């Protein structure tokens, strides 16, 4: 059950009335690791705030390709679902649960209302957009200027920062996230192993580069 204590820990800067509004209007939902929470083109009916676990955000191609952009952690929100002004907005991102997660779903009719009512909500929305904008800039920097070996390193470092130095991903997983093929990832990881950057195991590897 959702408690005010949980909320104050996750969102320490909010004003009191906002906690109550959340307790009244938000639904606490759960999802298993691997679940797709939002597809591109899908109508957005509620805002999504992460309570527990990690979500990955992707750009999705019509032909099935995916490109990983950033993680969402507890206390963070999916920017695209913090819609103001319009209903029937379509998602331009793909969101997947990487771990089992809990999240708050807030019907979008409250978004406009809360922007008026709660200053701290207003700040939260701006902070969210700002930080996600910065993540997108980093992503563009990677894709526009770096070769696959550097992008792979950048990708692994993001993983390591989130989950620690033991990378529990198959080559295929990584290839999907970087919109390339398994063979390419296999060969590049082999190079990293030769360079002494990683120790490879089946289904995982350890990042040991200092």
Partner DNA sequence: ATTGTAGTGTGATATATGTCACCCAATTAA
Partner DNA sequence: TTAATTGGGTGACATATATCACACTACAAT
Query: What residues make contact with DNA under the rule CB under 7 A?
Result: 147-149, 170-172, 179-184, 186-187, 189-190, 200, 202-204
- Max CA pair span of the chain: 58
In the complex, least distance from residue 77 CB atom to a copy of itself, rounded to whole angstroms: 13
Tokens of 196: 């002494």
Q: Which two tokens stand for residue 76?
A: 């963070």
Query: CA 193 to CA 196: how far, in whole Å?
Result: 5
Of 42 and 170, nearer to DNA (C-beta) is 170
Nearest residue (CB) to DNA, 102 versus 180: 180
Residue 198 interacting partner from DNA, a copy of itself, none (CB closer than 5 to 8 Å by kind): none
CB 102 within 8 A of CB 53: yes
By the rule CB under 8 A, 88 interacts with a copy of itself: no
The neighbour count for residue 5, using CB atoms within 10 Å, is 9
Residues 117-176 that bind a copy of itself (CB under 8 A): 119, 122-123, 125-127, 129-130, 132-134, 136-137, 139-141, 143-145
């Amino acid at each position: 059950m959702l408690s005010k204590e949980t909320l104050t820990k996750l969102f320490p800067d909010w004003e009191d009335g906002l906690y109550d509004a959340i307790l009244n209007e938000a639904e606490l939902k759960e999802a298993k690791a691997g679940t797709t929470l939002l597809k591109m083109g899908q109508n957005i009916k509620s805002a999504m705030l992460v309570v527990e676990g990690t979500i990955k955000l992707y750009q999705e191609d019509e032909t099935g390709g995916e490109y990983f952009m950033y993680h969402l952690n507890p206390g963070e929100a999916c920017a695209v679902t913090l819609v103001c002004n319009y209903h029937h907005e379509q998602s331009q991102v793909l969101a997947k649960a990487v771990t089992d997660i809990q999240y708050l779903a807030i019907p979008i009719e409250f978004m406009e209302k809360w922007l008026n009512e709660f200053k701290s909500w207003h700040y939260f929305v701006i902070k969210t957009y700002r930080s996600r904008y910065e993540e997108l800039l980093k992503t563009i920097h990677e894709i526009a200027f770096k070769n696959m070996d550097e992008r792979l390193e950048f990708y692994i470092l993001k993983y390591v920062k989130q989950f620690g130095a033991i990378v529990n991903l198959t080559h295929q997983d990584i290839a999907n996230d970087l919109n390339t093929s398994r063979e390419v990832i296999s060969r590049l990881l082999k190079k990293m192993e030769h360079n002494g950057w990683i120790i490879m195991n089946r289904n995982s590897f350890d990042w040991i580069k200092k």
